C-alpha cells in the first residue's frame, strides 16, 4: 500500500509571531519556518507502517512556494521515499489544498492519506475532513492509535470527553493527534541521502484546480495583552486577594 502524507510549511512553533504594521497578515520574511508539528507525526506514522511491512511507499506532498521543497526534503530525510511539490501561494486556503490533494490522490492511488489534525498557523482543522468528503472516503480524525487490518482501520480518536474507538473502511483519511507517536530526527547521512531522492514539481494549473481564495482577510491584529499582575508573598495573601479583591471564590 502507498501512503500519502501532505506536509505544510509553517512558522516554527518556537517563534513568536508578529503582526504586520499594515494589518494584512503576520510577518513571514526572515522568520524561521519548519514542518507543521502534527505533519511530522503523520510522516513518522507512515514510516513506522512501512518499517512494519504495512506500507510499501511513503509519498510526501507539500503545497506552497518554492521553499516548501525544503519541508519535503525534511520528510525525505526522515525516511520518506518520494516527494511532490505543488507550487502555490503560501496563504492558500484549506478548501483549495483539499482540491489539489484530491487531484494527487487520483493520480497516485494511495491506500491511506495521513495528515496532521491541524496546522499551527491558521488553526483551521479542515483539510483532512474536506479531502475525505471530496473523495467519498471515511475519516478518522484526531487519532492517537491506528491499527489497519485488511480493508478496515481501527482508530482511537481523542475527543472532548476522552477517547473514542471507531472502525473505518479503507482507503481512508486519518488525521493525527499529538500522542500517536514521537517523530524521529533525521540523521546527517539521511539528510545527505534525501538530496538524491525524487522530488517532482507541479503547479495548481497542471492539476486544473482553482485555488483562488474564497475568504477576504479584512485585517489581522494583535490580541489585547493582559495587564501585568502582581506577585503575592504567600498563600494567605493569595486567598485574601481572590476573596476580597477579585471576588472569584
Partner 1 sequence: MSILILSDHENGQLSPVTLNTITAATEIGGDIDLLVAGDASGNVVKAAASIANVSKVLAANDKIFENGLAENLTPLLLSLSAKYSHIMASATTTGKNVMPRVAAELDVMQISDIIKVIDANTFQRPIYAGNALSTVSSSEAVKIITVRGTAFEAATAKGGNAAVQSLQSTGDAGLSTYLKSELSSSERPELTSAPIVISGGRGMQDGANFNMLEKIADKLGAAVGASRAAVDAGFVSNEYQVGQTGKVVAPDLYMAVGISGAIQHLAGMKDSKIIVAINKDGEAPIFQVADYGLVADLFDAVPQLEKELG
Residue 122 burial (10 A CB sphere; 0-12, 13-18, 19+): middle
Minimum distance from residue 240 beta carbon to partner 1 (Å): 9
Of 10-18, 48-56, 66-74, 184-192, which part binds partner 1 (CB under 8 A)? Answer: 10-18
Minimum distance from residue 120 beta carbon to partner 1 (Å): 7
Residues 214-233 binding partner 1 (CB under 8 A) are 214-223, 226, 228-232
Single out the residue of 173, 140, 143, 168 nearest to residue 153, CA to CA: 168
Single out the residue of 192, 36, 16, 177 nearest to residue 120, CA to CA: 36
The single residue among 44, 118, 143, 181 that binds partner 1, judged by CB under 8 A, is 118
Minimum distance from residue 12 beta carbon to partner 1 (Å): 11
Question: Residue 163 or residue 192: which is nearer to partner 1 going by CB?
Answer: 163
Minimum distance from residue 99 beta carbon to partner 1 (Å): 9
Minimum distance from residue 15 beta carbon to partner 1 (Å): 9
Minimum distance from residue 218 beta carbon to partner 1 (Å): 4
What is the C-alpha to C-alpha distance for residues 170 and 150, in angstroms, rounded to an integer? Answer: 8
The single residue among 56, 167, 200, 206 that binds partner 1, judged by CB under 8 A, is 167
SS3 assignment, position 53: coil
Site string for partner 1, 174-213 (x = CB under 8 A): ---xxx---------------------------------x
Please tell me the count of residues contacting partner 1 according to CB under 8 A.
78
111 binds partner 1 (CB under 8 A): no
Question: Residue 196 or residue 226: which is nearer to partner 1 going by CB?
Answer: 226
149 binds partner 1 (CB under 8 A): no
103 binds partner 1 (CB under 8 A): no
Query: Is the separation of the CB atoms in 8 and 96 below 8 Å?
Result: no
What cell does 221 get? 491584529
What φ, ψ does residue 17 adopt, rounded to 5°? -75, 150
How crowded is residue 208: how many other Cβ atoms within 10 Å of its Cβ?
Answer: 8
The single residue among 157, 176, 186, 204 that binds partner 1, judged by CB under 8 A, is 157
Single out the residue of 44, 162, 60 nearest to residue 104, CA to CA: 60
Query: Would you state the torsion angle of the CA atoms of residues 39, 44, 46, 50, taken in this order, to the nearest 10 degrees?
Result: 160
19 binds partner 1 (CB under 8 A): yes
Question: Residue 81 or residue 121: which is nearer to partner 1 going by CB?
Answer: 121
What is the C-alpha to C-alpha distance for residues 135 and 239, in angstroms, rounded to an integer? Answer: 56
What is the C-alpha to C-alpha distance for residues 132 and 112, in angstroms, rounded to an integer? Answer: 11
Residues 28-87 binding partner 1 (CB under 8 A) are 38
Say which residues have a Cβ less than 8 Å from residue 102's Cβ, sequence separation at least 6. Answer: 131, 134, 135
1 binds partner 1 (CB under 8 A): no
Amino acid at each position: 500500500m502507498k501512503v500519502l502524507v501532505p506536509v505544510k510549511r509553517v512558522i516554527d512553533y518556537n517563534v513568536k509571531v508578529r503582526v504586520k504594521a499594515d494589518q494584512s497578515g503576520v510577518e513571514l520574511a526572515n522568520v524561521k519556518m519548519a514542518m507543521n508539528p502534527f505533519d511530522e507525526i503523520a510522516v513518522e506514522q507512515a514510516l513506522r507502517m512501512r518499517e512494519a511491512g504495512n506500507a510499501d511507499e511513503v509519498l510526501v506532498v507539500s503545497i506552497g512556494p518554492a521553499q516548501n521543497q525544503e519541508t519535503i526534503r525534511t520528510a525525505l530525510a526522515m525516511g520518506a521515499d518520494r516527494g511532490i511539490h505543488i507550487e502555490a501561494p503560501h496563504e492558500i486556503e484549506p478548501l483549495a489544498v483539499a482540491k489539489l490533494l484530491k487531484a494527487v490522490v487520483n493520480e497516485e492511488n494511495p491506500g491511506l492519506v495521513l495528515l496532521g489534525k491541524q496546522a499551527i498557523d491558521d488553526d483551521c482543522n479542515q483539510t483532512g475532513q474536506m479531502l475525505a468528503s471530496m473523495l467519498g472516503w471515511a475519516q478518522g480524525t484526531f487519532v492517537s492509535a491506528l491499527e489497519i487490518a485488511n480493508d478496515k482501520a481501527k482508530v482511537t480518536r481523542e475527543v472532548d470527553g476522552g477517547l473514542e474507538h471507531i472502525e473505518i473502511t479503507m482507503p481512508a483519511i486519518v488525521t493525527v493527534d499529538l500522542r500517536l507517536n514521537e517523530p524521529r530526527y533525521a540523521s546527517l547521512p539521511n539528510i545527505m541521502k534525501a538530496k538524491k531522492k525524487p522530488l517532482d514539481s507541479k503547479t495548481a494549473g497542471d492539476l486544473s484546480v482553482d485555488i483562488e481564495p474564497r475568504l477576504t482577510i479584512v485585517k489581522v491584529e494583535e490580541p489585547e495583552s493582559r495587564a501585568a499582575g502582581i506577585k503575592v508573598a504567600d498563600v494567605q495573601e493569595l486567598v485574601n486577594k481572590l476573596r476580597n479583591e477579585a471576588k472569584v471564590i
